[in-house]
A and B are shown apart, each in its own frame.
Chain A
């Protein structure tokens, strides 16, 4: 084996070892920095029914994001993700108008979650819930 091929071979071995070492350090680094999956997984959220009065909304944290429970005039309950479908701001409940306003770009949603004005492309995402006795379980 001449000197140049030996040098190439040793260079390749060294490069390979370096690559393995880099991968061995990169993987823990990537896992350390990556967002943690599972910790924000959807659990159930229980809210006392008395907390949501007629015509009002109750905001709460759900599955790592914001959600809202509304008791419409007449007593019907609805639950939505409170994240605006336009650019992800959190909507506000306008009690007097009985609708949702997104303060970022003026999007409006009805109490049923459908878009009534502004740029949002889709209605608010509905969330499943059940009522048993004095408590409401979302999720």
Chain B
């Protein structure tokens, strides 16, 4: 222990590491009535880190070439020792991360944590949602299976409904008129370099905003913090008398992460093909479209909306309007009340919206 203490002393006299720890960890106080839902951000950080590590490992054997991609993924699954584990962690992890992200957003929504002065936290979080959707969509193509190929064909084709520039936009996205080797090159670059860099930058911005504004107090039980933001000037919303982040809440975070990992590993080991339809195991064939090709579960509502409306432009516009409304929610819903049971109009709309999304997803799955 003395060696560790000496190393810490050596660093401390140079960069003042103990001051940083006291300010950011033991002296970083959180509301006393903070609940488990506040751990969703830590769970997401852990899930994203797992995606990065497993993705880097897959890069060792994956070949981003239309002639070799499917074979390389098959080799990872069948020939490389524990390759199946790394790939399953990556594939299952992407779905679980999306689920955790949706739960994080729902908890923020129902606890009213998006309200002023945290509008920018919500907007940056919403941008993260769209980037995670984009990284999932681009990653979907990489195994070059029938599912990858045709799901990407349908998804990119949606853009053709946009007036005037639509057809050009589709070709630009694909790198050619149809999905083909140029599409794989583009999606690969987006998936492993461009979008991850954007996600890392936005996570940084999201945490910066959280640290500058201060953690919101849950709207249940205790009263709001004494030094609440008044709108006149910048004020950090601290929680005097709250619990320290380290070790108190860090342990709660670890517990939540352990529960998440238990669920994640349960799927990886006991139902690894939960998110894999049959077409995911057939190499891409540009001449044979499989019947009933469907997107991932989190795009099923979008898919069904496009099917309901005969005019693709109307379907797309409705989705765009819904997404824009959600992104700008803190600027629309400006009341200060945050308790969900004291906001009947909000609760009706929010629960109705969630049920509509679930209903459309189930309809899309069964249709």
Contacts and interface: CB of A to CB of B under 8 A. Distances in A.
Interface string A11-45: 00000000000000000110111101001000000
Nearest to A34: B81
B259 interface: no
Question: Chain B binding site: helix, strand, loop or mixed by DSSP?
Answer: helix
Contact of B85 (A28, A33, A34, A39): A28
Contacts of B80: 32, 36
**Which interface class (under 10, 10 to 19, 20 to 34, 35 or more) fits A?**
under 10
A39 B79 CA distance: 10
Contacts of A39: 79
Contacts of B83: 32
**Which interface class (under 10, 10 to 19, 20 to 34, 35 or more) fits B?**
under 10
B82 interface: yes
Contacts, number: 22
Question: Chain A binding site: helix, strand, loop or mixed by DSSP?
Answer: helix
Interface in B45-97: 57, 60, 79-83, 85-86
Nearest to B86: A32
A28 B82 CA distance: 6
B220 to A, nearest CB: 32
A31 to B, nearest CB: 4
A32 B81 CA distance: 5
A39 B60 CA distance: 17
B87 to A, nearest CB: 10
A33 B81 CA distance: 8
A85 B367 CA distance: 66
B279 to A, nearest CB: 27
Nearest to A28: B82
Contacts of A33: 57, 60
Contacts of B86: 28, 32
Contacts of B60: 33
Nearest to B76: A32
A94 B60 CA distance: 37
8 contacts: A29-B82, A31-B82, A32-B82, A32-B83, A34-B81, A36-B79, A36-B80, A36-B81
Interface of B: 57, 60, 79-83, 85-86
In order of increasing CB-CB distance, the 9 nearest A-B pairs are A28-B82, A31-B81, A32-B82, A31-B82, A28-B85, A32-B81, A32-B86, A32-B80, A32-B83
